[in-house]
Amino acid sequence: MNAVSSDGLIFNRVSGTYLKDKMPERVSRAMVRGEQQVVSSATKNQTIKQTLQVTKARRKGQVCRVYELKITHTKLSSHSCAHLSRLFIEAKWFYNWIISQEDVFDLDTKVKSVLVKVGDTFEDRELTCLGSQMKQGLLTKTQNSIRALAKLKATGQKVGRLKFKRQIASIPLKQYGITYKLFPKQQKIQIQGLRDFIRVRGFDQIPPNVEFANAHLISRHGDYYLHITTYQPKENQLIPPLRVIGLDFGLSHQVTFSNGIALDFQIPLPNRLRRLYQLFSRTEEGSKNHHKAKHRLLKAFQTHTNRKTNLRNQIVGYLNRHYRIVCFQNDPFPAWQRLWGKKMLNLSLGTIKRILNERISSPSEIPRSFASSQWCSECQQQKQKLTLEERTYHCPNCGLSINRDQNAARNILREGLNQLGRESPEVTPVEIESSTQTMLAFFQNLLFVCASSVKEPGSPLL
């Protein structure tokens, strides 16, 4: 095999000698440049592999957290508004172009224009705002969706194919510092392709010593958000004190704690939704007024969803800060939904149960077959069935008289600790009473929440 030296001589690698003839200068330079590119490409790949290995080793001692920043819409210039709107339109065009190709796994993301179907014809649309890394992120996201469908199909499930979308609500931003930049002191961000700085809210929730990773630009009913993935040391995690508590879900009281505090909350749909529905039904489908009415309707629903999300986060956040072990039961909420549909719609108890499993330090979920409301929480000897109308549990064995939901919460707490192989920590009655009063005061200050005490006179504090 022959190689070319820097001066253009042909070197025979087999014989180890130089050939006499020189190659043409243009050809020799091209071959030298090609070998240099091969060497630089191999070095680059090796560097990337080493960097990934170092990053994986560092991630083992870190915790992943996602923070949401809201773009201040009133501070956006007309140019920035037009650019963000165009960005999501081009993302839709590019995504639909991806899934229209025969081989999704062999595409060039450096395309400058794509074909868009308009009626019965196709038009060539130029991609002026969508950056190269944004295209790569959309392509990777689509490929991962196809792989997920393939795995489901391999297990015997019936799956379809990816469908064309009318709108894209999320654009991946792959690399911090290139696809997007953050300026916490100025409360601003910068997105690839947009020279203007964008003012955002929410930097105060991000700790100072975090490592920024990828992000997602979100469009939600006319508002824009930035979801930032961060990695921070595990030492930053706040370890709650060694306290335990049990809670019981219900409809009479939505959440009842083992210390005797009951929460009643319900966020009904706003009254203006009926009027918005009437306006929406009177518009002609496909018209601009139809689009505007639909936008107002979805925004009203989003406000209702945000209120429920905020309430859930406040309840679970308090438990996560003050209790290390939280015990609860795996109640059949889908069956409750069929029986009490409209009331369950405004509660979202299933979501509270899910985020308890995600955020609490040591959650303990006991099976739904456990009869939490039928056993005496004091002596554990007497079992009796109660109707839904009976709200007080009377034990004929030990004489305990206690609220039905608090009795269930105490039984759930005891069963949850047994499931973890733990015992209840020793706490003085004064400390229990102090923590109970603090919890009651916190929940009484929340919007849409009515917190009260259901403890019967003479009932235990636990």
Same domain, yes or no: 206 and 260: no
Specify if 447 maps to a domain.
yes
pLDDT, average across residues 443-447: 90
Same domain, yes or no: 269 and 363: yes
C-alpha distances out from residue 198 to 188, 212, 216, 223, 226, Å: 5, 18, 15, 13, 11
Which residues fall within 8 angstroms of residue 438, CB to CB, at 6 or more apart? Answer: none
Same domain, yes or no: 270 and 419: yes
pLDDT, average across residues 154-169: 91
Compute how many other C-beta atoms are within 10 angstroms of the C-beta atom of residue 160: 7
Q: Where does a domain end: 236, 252, 275?
A: 236
Specify if 460 maps to a domain.
no
Same domain, yes or no: 40 and 79: no
Give me the percent of the chain exceeding a pLDDT of 90: 38
Between CA 125 and CA 129, with CA 128 as vertex, the angle to 5 degrees is: 125
The alpha-helical segments, DSSP class H, found in 22-177 are 25-59, 78-100, 132-154
Q: Where does a domain end: 170, 205, 236?
A: 236
What residues make up the domain containing 210?
Answer: 66-236
Residue 102's identity, in one-letter code, is E
Specify if 445 maps to a domain.
yes
Same domain, yes or no: 40 and 72: no
Q: Closest by alpha carbon to 107, among 121, 116, 95, 117?
A: 95
Specify if 461 maps to a domain.
no
Ranked by mean pLDDT, the top range of 67-71, 209-213, 334-338 is 67-71
Using the structure block, give the residue that is written with the tokens 């931003």.
173
Residue 452 host element (H or E):
strand 449-453
Specify if 18 maps to a domain.
yes
Same domain, yes or no: 268 and 148: no
Domain count of the chain?
3
What would the pLDDT profile of 297-319 be if each residue is shown by its tens digit? Answer: 988 888 888 888 899 999 999 99
pLDDT, average across residues 155-164: 90
Contact between residue 219 and residue 238 where contact means Cβ atoms under 8 Å apart: no
Residue 251's identity, in one-letter code, is L
Same domain, yes or no: 53 and 70: no
Specify if 340 maps to a domain.
yes
Same domain, yes or no: 91 and 173: yes
Which sign does the torsion angle of CA 166, 95, 137, 177 carry? negative
Specify if 137 maps to a domain.
yes
Same domain, yes or no: 419 and 435: yes
What would the pLDDT profile of 324-358 be if each residue is shown by its tens digit? Answer: 999 999 988 888 888 877 777 778 888 899 999 98
Same domain, yes or no: 175 and 307: no
Specify if 431 maps to a domain.
yes
Same domain, yes or no: 300 and 432: yes
Q: Where does a domain end: 15, 44, 59?
A: 59
